[in-house]
Amino acid sequence: MIIFGYREATLQTKVFEDDTCDHCGQKGNIACTVYSRHAHVMWIPLFPIGKRKVAWCQHCGKIFQLNETPPDLQNQIREFSRTQKAPFWQWIGLLLFAGLIVSTLFRGYRETSNTKKYLESPDYRDVYCLKYDKGYSLMYVVDFNEDSIYFLDNNYVASKISDAKDLHWMDYYELDTIYIYSRDQVKDLYYKDKVIKSIWRGLPFKNKEMLFEDDDEDEDEDFDDEDEDEDDQDEDEDEYDGEEPDNT
């Protein structure tokens, strides 16, 4: 359950020395406290939503409505309240949220501009993410020349584009068939048909031990164990990344 609402922070209290309480007759005891209110979600402050001022007598405890006090005191209270500013931390949620949006937009922008760049100048091991009716899959650049690009096709499909990177395992690719597209066809797949969603350069293979498959097994036993540990860590990080947006 998500709990949201508003809370208040006490900013400051000022005592007005010249004024007299009309309830107990004591002079110099009228005080005003200013509070800053902020909206929160799960007690994380989002942004300030205004101030509240309370005038009261420190001697007898009577609380005054602002319009009950003499006009001169009213002005002093208003002026005092006006100088009080919401503390920085009451903006923290909005700042985090804005930061998240900006970084998401920036990442999207960078990925799009990289993809357009890689379309023009392909390289070995570029990974193309494609959208089909049933989900997202990959193609892997194994060769290219001035006219064409040579791909391996991935046999698997992920439901989300963020999960498609996990399909980049060598044994997930159809190794015995090479698909050849002209560069113009590839550009059409991106600009016109919008089948190519993204191109990733330098994407590491998910299972690194596959690279050592043909080597002597005894010799590489320790190495493989280390690799497995690394993969476990990768998985943990992936899980953490997945949960992060829910927390904020």
Residues that bind Zn ion (CB under 5 A): 21, 23-24, 57, 59-60
- Considering beta carbons, is residue 28 or 87 the nearer one to Zn ion? 28
Provide the minimum distance between the beta carbon of 61 and Zn ion in the complex, in angstroms, as a whole number.
7
Query: Who's near 38: CB < 8 A, 6+ residues apart?
Result: 6, 7, 8, 9, 45, 46, 47, 48, 49, 86, 90
21 or 164, CB closer to Zn ion? 21
Instruction: Report in angstroms how near the CB of residue 11 gets to Zn ion at its nearest.
Output: 23
What torsion do the CA atoms of 157, 159, 161, 165 make, to the nearest 10 degrees?
-50
| Min CB(69)–Zn ion separation in Å | 12
Least CB distance to Zn ion at residue 17 (A)? 14
Identify any residues that bridge with 131 across adjacent strands, giving them in sequence order: 136
CB nearer to Zn ion: pick between 60 and 98: 60
| Paired sense of beta strands 4-16 and 30-41, if any | antiparallel
* Crossing angle between the packed helical segments 183-191 and 92-120, to the nearest 10 degrees: 150
Q: Least separation, in Å, of the C-beta of 23 and Zn ion?
A: 4
* Residues pairing with 219 in the sheet: none
26 or 114: CB nearest Zn ion: 26
Nearer to Zn ion, 11 or 57 (CB): 57
Joined together, the tokens standing for residue 38 give: 């902020």
